[in-house]
Structure 1
Amino acid sequence: MTYATLENLTERYGADMLLGITDRATPPAGAIDTGVVARALANADATINGRLGTRFVVPLAGTPPEIREIAEAIAIWKLHVYKPDEKIEADYKEAMKTLEGMAAGSVVLHATTLAPVETGGTGARLTDRDRPLTAENLRGYI
């Protein structure tokens, strides 16, 4: 499950823009390269999970709207082979800043969208094994 889809990117940025930055064939194929878009979306997901993984269980159980927007901003920035325009650059920087804030706890990500942590146990476990170094073993050294 990705946080954003090709449809989300098309809705936000338009098919013409996606065609211009993803059609890298020679000669141009005249179609959006879905493989290139899928790689950019996977990279965006990995970036989000990497940043939020220090604080939250990732991948997130659902896709909150703020995470979808962040994924879109990261993916469209990564799709640009050359320098993106100022708006794309500003959106990317804002997305990364928001992710850092979420990871630090200064920006709230609603907990209802997070997967519960399943530990498989009921609490702390204690194991008591034989101690290899005892007063009896170390007689003459202490």
Structure 2
Amino acid sequence: MSYAVKQDLIDRFGEKELRELTDRVNRPPTTIDDTVVGRAVNDATALIDGYIAKKYSLPLATVPEILVKTAADIARYYLHGKAADKDSPVTAAYNQAVAWLKDVAKGLVELDDGGEAPEPAGGGAIKTSAPNRVFTRDSLKGF
């Protein structure tokens, strides 16, 4: 299951950019190569799965919108390849997406995966047991 599809990339970045990034046959670019887009989206999905699998069972019941955006940003970076300048908005969006995924993996950010949060084990109370105190205020009276 992919988190983004070709139409998500078109909606976010425009058809012209996708033509320029994927059409490796025609000059000037005239079509969007579905194979190239599919490879980038699959690679982005694999990267995302690697991070979120630490906290969530895959596949997710529902795909949160933030994962669609994250997958689109990562796929766009992959489509740019070595042409992505380190100071470009494409690289900045990729770095931000990966940083967010690291926070998800650490548990700092939670995904709304459409499920209900599990109840805490044991009702959430801490139970302890210890022997009675040897020294009390009454036993030390007069010292």
Please tell me the TM-score bracket, short chain as reference.
0.7 to 0.9
Does the CA-based 8 Å contact 2:18-2:32 persist in structure 1? yes
Percent identical: 35
Q: Deviations over 1:27-78 (max 9, x none)?
A: 5662000000001001011001111111111222211011111000110000
Q: CA deviation at 1:111?
A: 4.2
Shift of 1:24: 1.0
SS in 2 for 1:80: helix
SS at 2:32's partner residue?
coil
RMSD: 2.0
1:102-141 equivalences under 5 Å are 102-112=104-114
Unpaired runs of 5+ residues, structure 2, are 119-143
**Alignment match, 1:132:** none
**Secondary structure of 1:61 counterpart:** coil
Matches of 1:93 and 1:74, distance apart in 2:
9
Deviation at 1:82, TM superposition (A): 3.0
The alignment's TM-score, normalised by the length of structure 1, stands at 0.74
Counterparts of 1:61-140 in structure 2, within 5 Å, are: 61-85=61-85, 86-112=88-114
Q: Please name the residue that 1:50 is paired with.
A: 50
Count residues with an aligned counterpart: 115
- 1:81 partner SS: helix
Q: Find the residue that maps to 2:17 and give its secondary structure.
A: helix
Q: Return the TM-score normalized by structure 2.
A: 0.74
Post-superposition offset of 1:109: 1.0
**Structure 1, unpaired ranges of 5+:** 117-142
**Of the two, which has the highest radius of gyration?**
2
